[in-house]
């Protein structure tokens, strides 16, 4: 091999390796190169006045911050519909009798339109309604456990021949869902495939739930209207509407959880819908818990370029222009206050900027304090595998971008703590 060829080959191999580890090159992973920036103050009204008390936060500043995120980041979603149409299509025993399973189809219209196929595992031995974790899954309900009673999704999937799932993928995401652990601790798990709400590719919003809500003459959502993340979040709220009618679930104790793009989604769901009692974001990164202004790992420009359908079109204005954003992601966390929020990072997941994820929780604290809700219980970012938790919780665990049993143990402990269990 001549030298030139060798260099080309080496460069190619290196770039493949960096992509495989989820850390594309040409982005900053060096803390000393994080630009200096000023964060917008969650406790300053748009006219510059300070938010003096909890009442002013609730009645003035919180609605203002929520509108800013709708207008500039995720887009506006339709109003809560008067009702959803739910039908229990199957139920039975699971996990060798340790759990019960229920499958519920939710429709947004009486006839036609997308169907949200919801899978619920509850502890077999429970007397009364149980608290629940509600989260979207990436690859279909059949991947969440090895349970043969769960049908293989028929929807478009990212992985799979011709974007169709097969029975081979049954149980392949089981380590991310830890059903046994969850039910053993007395919680239900409620999950559905995010592609039931909106398939995750850029098709100009022709599929999924967006077309149901277009105004007359509109071909796609306007620049301040919902992208896919907001649609997934809105779908989670529709599942919550159903859970409010399901007597096996304690509707006051539903935590919303998500990983990665779906961790961005769980944060937005929690911000838009205060009925979620706890909000959990696992390795959510850019557009999730990580501060955009840090430009560490993934940037606003990169996310808008690679995933043009995730955010609203207005978010493109902040490509390479983060300092002009009227918000940053600490204000997203603050929208949850005084509800408990848990943010988790992984040591090798530098693309998602672990420090930026921690700092969002940290800089949301003033709002929690104003509401007398405590804070994070730590001044500094904790060491790896040393979780901190007060009303806000955070950990960075050993390992890669993923959801693991370690993460779930922290979330279960956090829920127990806040529910007084
Ligand atoms: C990509 C994307 C991230 C996202 C992740 C995921 O890496 O850049 O923003 O969180 O996919 O959802 O798996």
The answer to the question of residue 255 being in a domain is no
Per-residue pLDDT, averaged over 67-95, amounts to 98
Contact between 229 and 264 (Cβ < 8 Å): yes
296 & 240 share domain: no
b/e burial code for range 8-30 (CB count within 10 A of at least 16 → b): eeeeeeeeeeeeeebbeeebbee
Q: Are strands 115-123 and 85-94 parallel, antiparallel or unpaired?
A: unpaired
Q: How many CA atoms lie within 13 A of 129 on its CB side?
A: 14
Q: Which of 285, 287, 299, 343 to mutate to test the pocket of ligand 1 (most atoms within 8 A of CB)?
A: 285
The boundaries of the domain holding residue 232 are 85-249
Same domain, 12 and 32: yes
Count of domains observed in the chain = 2
* pLDDT at residue 112 in the model: 87
Judge whether 268 lies within some domain.
no
pLDDT at 13 over 70: no
What are the residue numbers of the active site?
260, 401
The percent of residues above 70 in pLDDT, for the chain, comes to 95
Give the pLDDT confidence score for residue 6 in this predicted structure.
54
Compute the distance between CA of residue 349 and CA of residue 27 in angstroms, rounded to an integer.
13
Residue 348 tokens read as 């090798």
Residue 20, pLDDT above cutoff 70: no
The atom number, within ligand 1, closest to the CA of 287 reads 9
Question: SS3 breakdown of the chain: % helix, strand, coil, rounded to 5?
Answer: 40, 20, 45
- Position 10 pLDDT exceeds 60: no
- 63 and 89, same domain (yes or no): no
Whether the predicted pLDDT of 4 surpasses 80: no
Q: Is residue 12 part of a domain?
A: yes
Distance 96 CA to ligand 1 centre (A): 35
How close is the Cα of 132 to the center of ligand 1, in Å? 26
Q: 401 alpha carbon to ligand 1 midpoint, in Å?
A: 9
Tokens of 345: 């990072």
Please report the atom of ligand 1 found closest to the CA of residue 284: 10
Q: In what order do the strands lie in the sheet with 249-259?
A: 85-94, 99-107, 115-123, 188-193, 130-137, 249-259, 278-282, 341-346, 392-397, 388-389
Q: Is the pLDDT of residue 55 over 90?
A: yes
pLDDT band at 12 (very low <50, low <70, confident <90, very high): very low
**Model pTM above 0.85:** yes
Nearest ligand 1 atom, CA 283? 10
Any bridge partners for residue 278, and if so which?
255
Mean pLDDT of the region 220-241: 98
Pocket test for ligand 1, best of 200, 261, 281, 297 (most atoms within 8 A of CB): 261
Residue 232 Cα to ligand 1 midpoint, Å, equals 15
Q: How confident is the model at residue 108 (pLDDT cuts 50, 70, 90)?
A: very high
Over 90: is that where the pLDDT of 21 sits? no
CB contact set of 413 (below 8 Å; sequence gap of 6+): 389
293, 385: one domain: yes
pLDDT in tens, 363-386: 999 999 999 999 999 999 999 999
């Amino acid at each position: 091999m001549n030298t030139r060829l060798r260099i080309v080959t080496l460069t190619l191999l290196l770039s493949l390796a960096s992509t495989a580890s989820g850390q594309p090159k040409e982005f900053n992973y060096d803390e000393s190169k994080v630009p200096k920036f000023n964060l917008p103050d969650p406790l300053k009204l748009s006219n510059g006045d300070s938010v003096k008390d909890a009442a002013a936060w609730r009645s003035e500043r919180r609605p203002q911050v929520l509108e800013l995120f709708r207008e500039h980041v995720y887009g506006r979603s339709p109003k809560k519909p008067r009702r959803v149409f739910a039908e229990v299509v199957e139920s039975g025993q699971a996990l060798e009798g340790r759990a019960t399973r229920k499958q519920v189809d939710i429709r947004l219209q009486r006839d036609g339109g997308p169907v949200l196929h919801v899978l619920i595992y509850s502890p077999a031995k429970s007397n009364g309604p149980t608290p629940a974790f509600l989260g979207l899954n990436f690859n279909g309900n059949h991947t969440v456990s090895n349970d043969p009673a769960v049908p293989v999704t028929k929807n478009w999937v990212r992985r799979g021949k011709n974007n169709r799932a097969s029975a081979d993928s049954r149980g392949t995401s089981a380590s991310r869902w830890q059903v046994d652990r969850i039910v053993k601790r007395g919680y239900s798990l409620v999950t559905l495939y995010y592609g039931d709400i909106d398939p995750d590719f850029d098709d100009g919003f022709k599929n999924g739930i967006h077309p149901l809500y277009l105004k007359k003459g509109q071909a796609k959502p306007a620049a301040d209207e919902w992208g896919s993340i907001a649609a997934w979040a809105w779908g989670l709220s529709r599942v919550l509407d159903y859970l409010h009618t399901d007597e096996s679930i304690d509707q006051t104790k539903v935590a919303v959880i998500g990983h990665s793009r779906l961790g961005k989604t769980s944060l937005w769901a929690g911000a838009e819908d205060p009925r979620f009692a706890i909000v959990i974001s696992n390795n959510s990164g850019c557009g999730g818990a990580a501060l955009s202004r840090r430009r560490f790992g993934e940037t606003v420009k990169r996310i808008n370029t690679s995933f043009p359908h995730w955010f609203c079109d207005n978010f493109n204005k902040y490509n390479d222009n983060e300092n002009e954003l009227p918000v940053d992601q600490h204000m997203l966390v603050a929208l949850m206050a005084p509800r408990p929020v848990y943010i988790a990072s992984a040591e090798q997941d530098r693309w998602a900027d672990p420090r930026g994820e921690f700092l969002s929780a940290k800089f949301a604290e003033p709002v929690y304090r104003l509401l007398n809700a405590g804070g994070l219980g730590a001044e500094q970012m904790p060491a790896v595998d040393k979780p901190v938790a007060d009303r806000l919780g955070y950990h960075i665990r050993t390992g890669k971008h993923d959801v693991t049993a370690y993460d779930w143990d922290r979330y279960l402990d956090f829920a127990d703590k806040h529910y007084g269990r």
